[in-house]
Amino acid sequence: MASLSTTLSLPSSCPSSCLRSSNKSINAAIHFSRRPRVRFSTPELTLTTQSTVGEPKTAPVLLDSCTNSIDNDKSAEITTRLYMMLEEVIDRVEMHRNMGEQRDNWNTLLLNSINMMTLAATTMAGLSAISGGSSGGPLKLSSFLLFSASTGMLMIMNKIQPSQLAEEQRNAMRFFKKLESEIKSKLALGGAMEADVEELVLKVLALDRAFPLPLLGKMLEKFPKKFEPAIWWPSKSCRPVKEKKSERLPHQPSMESGNNNGWSEELKTEMRAVVEVMKRKDVEDYVRLGNLVLKTNKVLAASGPLLTALAAVGSALMGSHSGGSWATMAALLGGALAAAVNTFEHGAQVGMVVEMYRNCTGFFGLLGESIETEIEERRENGELFEMKVALQLGRSLPELRDLAKKSIYSNTEGIEMDEFASKLF
């Protein structure tokens, strides 16, 4: 372009030959100054456009990342709490095991000691009655002291009922082991929620109330006015609300409502019929037997100290003018009968039988409450829950369904049901 502007500025007096040469130079200059077309690329514009278009897609990704991070933190916190609860439950299992062994030893040692003291005192009373005179005085005094000690120890033993205490600790250990397995299952399967942790805490506290470790102040009443079942689970009103699970078995077709979770009207009717059988047959029978054993235990607990006290009075009055032969008979018969009553009460572990009946009655109450709750909330799969109920009652699925049919038929026809729900106990 510089040569073109220079050529055009030549004066007009230039000769033609010069003009020709200048024209040639102009043409050459023009041809020389022509440049190829350059294609401009806009990488910055392209990058800007891509980043501008990509900006709306970045916000949901960041939001999902933050949500996943929060969920992971919450899940880690719940897992940590579950592990903490698992340690506490394992510790309670060990405590109740040790307490159960200790109180079972109490029952054995106290039974043997009191019986030996009672029989020794009875033997001394008999020897004192045979020997008479001055030699019978020390024997009579020893017999009186042993009978008095046996009376005091027997009153304490009958008050605490060591065999029943040992059975309480065995039941507590079993329930805590079951709770331990439940926590381990939740940790293995994952997906535990805050409501699951709260429910587990309530279960631990309910077990602590149902089976206390200390004796003074918190020991369960061994001779209540009325037989009552054991309750070791939290009440329904205190339980946290859980979300319903919509899972179903792989072979199970989906329901129209999509929220039945394997529960049909036929299954609900079957479960209600099973609950009715448990209330009419199993619970009533165990309450009747529990009241009978409880009354028997009350009579035995009162008879033992009364007989040893009578024997102590008889041994003290032997050889006196006011005593006579009846005092000797009271000492000998009282001591022998006291040993027999004590052996039957604590050797046969009548207190343990009372606790066993309390536990069995409570088991049917818990199972009935669980069935009614599942019918309302349908948190577990219906078919799996039916199988679990059948196994807890010691039955197969066909036997459980036959039991429900018999219950419905007996209600319809007004016929007494002759079969119990449980085949285990």
Instruction: Using CB atoms within 10 Å of the CB of residue 335, give its burial: 0 to 12 exposed, 13 to 18 middle, 19+ buried.
Output: buried
Supply the pLDDT for residue 411: 86
pLDDT tens, position by position, 86-99 = 999 999 999 999 99
Spans in the chain with pLDDT lower than 50: 1-36, 38-57, 245-257
N residues, the chain: 425
Supply the pLDDT for residue 274: 94
Q: Which amino acid, one-letter code, is at 356? A: M
Q: Which residues contact 175 (CB under 8 A, 6 or more apart)?
A: 207, 211, 232
8 Å CB contact between 304 and 341:
yes
Supply the pLDDT for residue 75: 86
Among 249, 284, 242, residue whose Cα is nearest residue 263: 249
Supply the pLDDT for residue 244: 52
Among 411, 176, 137, residue whose Cα is nearest residue 274: 411
d(CA 164, CA 345): 11
Supply the pLDDT for residue 321: 65
Q: CA triplet 398, 402, 405: central angle to 5 degrees?
A: 140
pTM above 0.95, yes or no: no
Tell me the C-alpha to C-alpha distance, in Å, between residue 382 and each of 43, 182, 259, 363, 388: 63, 19, 12, 21, 10
Supply the pLDDT for residue 63: 54
d(CA 100, CA 162): 9
Task: Give 41-103 as a DSSP string.
Answer: P-HHHHHHHHHHHHHHHHHHHHHHHHHHHHHHHHHHHHHHHHHHHHHHHHHHHHHHHHHHHHH
Task: Please report which residue ranges of 132-161 form alpha helices under DSSP H.
Answer: 136-160
Supply the pLDDT for residue 326: 87
d(CA 59, CA 56): 6
Supply the pLDDT for residue 68: 62
